[in-house]
Structure 1
Amino acid sequence: MSATITPAGTRRPEPDSSGRARPLLRRFTRPAAAVLSGAMLFLSFPPRPLWWLALPAFALLGWSLHGRRPRAAFGLGHLAGLGFLLPLLIWTGEEVGAVPWLALAAVEALFVAVTGVGIALVSRLPLWPVWAAAVWVLGEGLRARVPFGGFPWGKIAFGQAEGVFLPLAAVGGTPVLGFAVALCGFGLYETARRLRAYRRTGGLPRGPLAAATTAVLLPITAALAALPLVDASAEEGTATVAAIQGNVPRLGLDFNAQRRAVLDNHAARTEQLAEDVAAGRVPKPDFVLWPENSSDLDPYRNGDARLVIDRAVRAVGAPTVIGAVLTPETGPLRNTLIAWEPGKGPVATYDKRHVQPFGEYIPMRPFVRLFSSDVDRVRRDFGPGDRVGVFDLAGTRVGLATCYEAAFDWAVRDTVTHGGRLISVPSNNATFGRSEMTYQQLAMSQVRAVEHSRAVVVPVTSGVSAIIRPDGTIEQQTRMFTPDALVAEVPLRSSLTPATRMGALPEAALAALALGALGWAGRTRAKERRAAAR
């Protein structure tokens, strides 16, 4: 037992409260930075024109994860994922409440958490920004495939529709575009880290600093070099296309009445377009595109619906693509696009191939019901089609990707490799209100336009509908919840971009790069442990 004797007249030193506060503050600095990096990624997405925020977001994420142990990196990655996906996906709870939204964001953030572990592991390697960017692409690829067919919403590429890196979509699709953004962001952090070390020690490591700055400049240089691939000229003439936005009825109608009202709205707006054509106010379209679910009534089984559609198509005098829900007597429902010709009626169909889990069908229904009774709103599941959607409309081959399918690389690419000269993405986002969902989906279509060098037409029930040129620029668009008809002459193209030709090859190469780097990091870590144990 000991005691400290304080001389008379002297005061015992007060505890240094600021000294205790500093370690506590440092403990929360990295978690706060991880959350902030995720929030900045969210802010880089439409409708905000802040695509460049993705670069400091990845720089901050790199700082948070650099040199961290796996368990800490997992937690930091999950925080970054939540900071990103919670606000990005808030629209998923528009009709069904907070529980499904929170569950989806938490599960999807787990992929970011695992990705964070990989980034932390490779951050100890030379040229780590390259390996870390490849690991990010690997994480996005996994998230786009599992579970239930994947959920690619929130791919970094989809936030770059207005950015300088967009031409890289034509080089290698969304994986190469996302890789470039992540590489540039991680390179920014590494450059700052090397310069800070120089200020602290006075020694300038020229090689590592040069590598860091190259990680920043190389993606920008590559994007500029890819600009010639972004071409909006016509290769096979042009087509005049019309996109119909009929809008949805207001509250107060029961479900069946609302379904009929949606069909009537689209038919009425098409007939008004016919009047505008007859009056010379707009040019006559070669074909007309309606949105997904513009007729929730099956025209094969409902005579009234068939008459309404046929009357509108005859009035406009052009082949029209109708989005309908088909209700066969047995088996699953079908989310179908129907090519409808004046005087002939239905001549071709395309069944949506990638139906949306928990929206169009309910996996594990008894288990999910324990958490939300809203699953029973989907009383009968939709089933997927098995054929690529390409319609011949007045001599123009039009590729079809229905709504949710636009998020999947393969679903859009197939329509081009099967001869599509332009792409249509009919969608129904009425259930998501005035949320940002429609702008996020519109940005996907802009990226797809550049990726495959095709004009993209987006007819939507309630907005935002748009006509997009092959260079990704929006030629026309509607306002939300406003009946409208867009009419424009669009270029038809047949050449294939490198991204279209290579398909999944660039993503596979980046995944192999990431796995190789993770293996390298794992062996290095094992050697260090063995050396420390001796």
Structure 2
Amino acid sequence: MATTVDSDSVTSPPEEPAAAATGRSFRYPDRLPAWAVALGSVLSGALLWLAFPPVGLWWTAPIALGLFALTLRGSRLRRGAWAGYLFGLVFFTAVLHWAGTYVGSVWLFLPVSQAAFTALLGALTPLTWRRPALLPALTGGAWVLSEALRSRIPFGGFPWARVAFSQADAPTLKLASLAGAPGVTFAVAATGGLLALALVWLLSERPPAANQRQLLKVVGAAAGAIALMAIGLVVPLPSPGGPTVTVAIIQGNVPRLGLDFNAQRRAVLDNHVNATMKLASQIAAGTAKQPDFVIWPENSSDIDPLANPDAYAEITQAAQAMKVPILIGGMMNGPGPTHVSNTSIVWSPTTGPGERYVKRHPVPFAEYIPLRSIARMVSNKVDLVPRDFYPGDRVGVMTMGKYTLADSICFEVAYDGLVHDAVAAGGQMIAVQTNNATFGKTEESAQQLAMVRFRAAEYGLPAVMASTTGISAVVEHDGTVSQHSGLFEQAILVEQVQIAAPGHQIATVAAVLGEWPEILASLATAVALALLWWTRPQRRLGRRREKAA
């Protein structure tokens, strides 16, 4: 007679004797009901959001990931998938809601699409419980794998709001110098896995006090969680060891926020020129230090300065007044009539425009529109981007007089490879030029500053963030902020920082390893989870029955 097996038991733990028969006083359920899974997923997503700026309760991240793992213990893969999607929908909607400030409901396509990656994560999570001893490592690896995928697909990926970027104020930040963002995400997720194990063991067959071995397991898991989160406190972070330079950041501000930012482009350029001239006057009066170079933000000249004589003359006047190079952010026409280029230009006080860096990773559906004809059927907002931004192919390393910067433009700071390329090519410090005028609220800028702080600690290099509207900031090599501006104001920041010596900018383990920690962790996790799926009890039972037949 044919035997069928309930698919609901695909990833469930083996059946155990009833509680009454074993004398259990406490018991964490083998599988939660659907309503509890839904509630746990929502709570987990909300807790993870609280870890990110502007709230910034970094310690809620491991709790969120541990709660999510607990929620899916014993679940089917299908239940894990929809629970993961719900988790992601809550988290991404909350953490990215600034994206909808001026574009209406069309922004919801961002959390809806990103939640697909946490749906995959949710489908994998029940498998991690098949080997409890491996749960922390598999939980960490599954999160690394999920973030690796969404950092690359589709359209080049969207790595914003990775777990690691919630840890700018946490002891785990220094782990960035060992294995970058994947390493910090792994540590936080593995901590969550240890917390989940500790609770399951605590609420297991009998009270831990009645079972010494059980008590040791609970204490060991809890101690491991604390150690993982605190280990960064003893990780040494190398000093840059190079010369001390004085850097100036100009935050010109804009007349109005919103999607009509480009219509104000002359006023925005004038604001940055005027603020720079004000700094030159302060230097002449002896009330400000002479900088070695000046950094303007992205879109500080949305008028093409090479095509517009007035803009060219204004920027040249500012550079000559400062007597040092200015790194400007300009919107250049071309290539061709259908494209523009988001470009950084080194503007010399003597020779004018020099080195250029064109943003290598324009943001899909914001700076260029993939599948434009189809996207227009969804929303006519795509026509707010009449010309697609053209991706550059040159690494963002910029020579500012005697010094070299590793430059990123706006969202590029979230991409591991783009920052690494610029540092490896000779960047003695990190510069991030950004324009927050189209987002209006504080969340986007605060989250971006957290990523700048993360990159500083990852490479042991100072970093600066120059914004049109704020937050602009100077960050030390250990990720601490030494000076920052407010939001929606004109500001001038002048600060001394120690940069790397030429040829010695690769000083941390993370800088040497590059993408290898992420690649190895993702591959190892994928293989381990595939083996756990293939050897699950359901399949073993089916093979035994086939042999018996």
> What letter matches 1:366 in structure 2?
S
The superposition leaves residues 436-455 of structure 1 with CA deviations (integer Å, 9 ceiling, x where unpaired) of: 00000000000000001111
Pick aligned residue for 1:505 from 505, 516, 534:
516
CA drift of 1:422 comes to 0.4
User: Bigger shift: 461-470 or 304-313?
Assistant: 304-313
CA drift of 1:266 comes to 0.5
CA drift of 1:172 comes to 0.3
Match of 2:102 in 1: 95
Pick aligned residue for 1:434 from 428, 437, 441:
441
Match of 1:446 in 2: 453
Measured in 2, the distance between the counterparts of 1:194 and 1:447 equals 35
The superposition leaves residues 113-160 of structure 1 with CA deviations (integer Å, 9 ceiling, x where unpaired) of: 111111111221132121121011100100100000000011000000
> What letter matches 2:528 in structure 1?
A
Contact 2:172 2:230 in 1 (8 A): no
Measured in 2, the distance between the counterparts of 1:436 and 1:208 equals 40
Alignment RMSD (CA, Å): 2.0
Pick aligned residue for 2:148 from 141, 147, 150:
141
Match of 1:286 in 2: 292
Measured in 2, the distance between the counterparts of 1:498 and 1:235 equals 16
Measured in 2, the distance between the counterparts of 1:27 and 1:404 equals 38
CA drift of 1:234 comes to 4.6
Match of 1:5 in 2: none
Contact 1:438 1:463 in 2 (8 A): yes
Runs of 4+ displaced beyond 6 Å: 251-256
Q: Does residue 1:523 correspond to 2:530, yes or no? A: no
Distance 1:377 1:156, change over 3 A: same
Secondary structure at 1:199 match in 2 = coil
Contact 2:54 2:442 in 1 (8 A): no
Contact 1:341 1:347 in 2 (8 A): yes
Contact 2:258 2:437 in 1 (8 A): no
Measured in 1, the distance between the counterparts of 2:59 and 2:143 equals 18
Q: How does 1:45-60 map to 2 (within 5 A)?
A: 45-60=52-67
Pick aligned residue for 2:390 from 383, 387, 410:
383
Distance 1:528 1:270, change over 3 A: farther
> What letter matches 1:512 in structure 2?
L
Q: Where do 5+ consecutive residues of structure 2 fail to align? A: 1-31
Q: How does 1:24-423 map to 2 (within 5 A)?
A: 27-99=34-106, 101-127=107-133, 128-200=135-207, 202-206=210-214, 209=218, 212-213=221-222, 215-220=224-229, 222-226=231-235, 228-229=236-237, 231=238, 233-250=239-256, 258-328=264-334, 329-330=336-337, 332-423=339-430
> What letter matches 1:404 in structure 2?
F
Contact 2:50 2:57 in 1 (8 A): yes
Contact 1:465 1:477 in 2 (8 A): yes
> What letter matches 2:57 in structure 1?
L
Measured in 2, the distance between the counterparts of 1:185 and 1:136 equals 11
Distance 1:239 1:115, change over 3 A: same
CA drift of 1:527 comes to 1.6
> What letter matches 2:121 in structure 1?
T
> What letter matches 1:240 in structure 2?
T
CA drift of 1:95 comes to 1.5
Contact 1:161 1:447 in 2 (8 A): yes
Contact 2:459 2:510 in 1 (8 A): yes
Measured in 2, the distance between the counterparts of 1:531 and 1:405 equals 53
Secondary structure at 1:249 match in 2 = coil
Distance 1:481 1:467, change over 3 A: same
Measured in 1, the distance between the counterparts of 2:521 and 2:227 equals 16
Contact 2:258 2:438 in 1 (8 A): no
Contact 2:171 2:231 in 1 (8 A): no
What fraction of aligned residue pairs are identical, expressed as a percent? Answer: 43
Measured in 2, the distance between the counterparts of 1:203 and 1:67 equals 24
- TM-score (normalizing by structure 2): 0.89
Distance 1:86 1:338, change over 3 A: same
Measured in 2, the distance between the counterparts of 1:254 and 1:212 equals 53
Distance 1:445 1:256, change over 3 A: closer
CA drift of 1:110 comes to 1.1
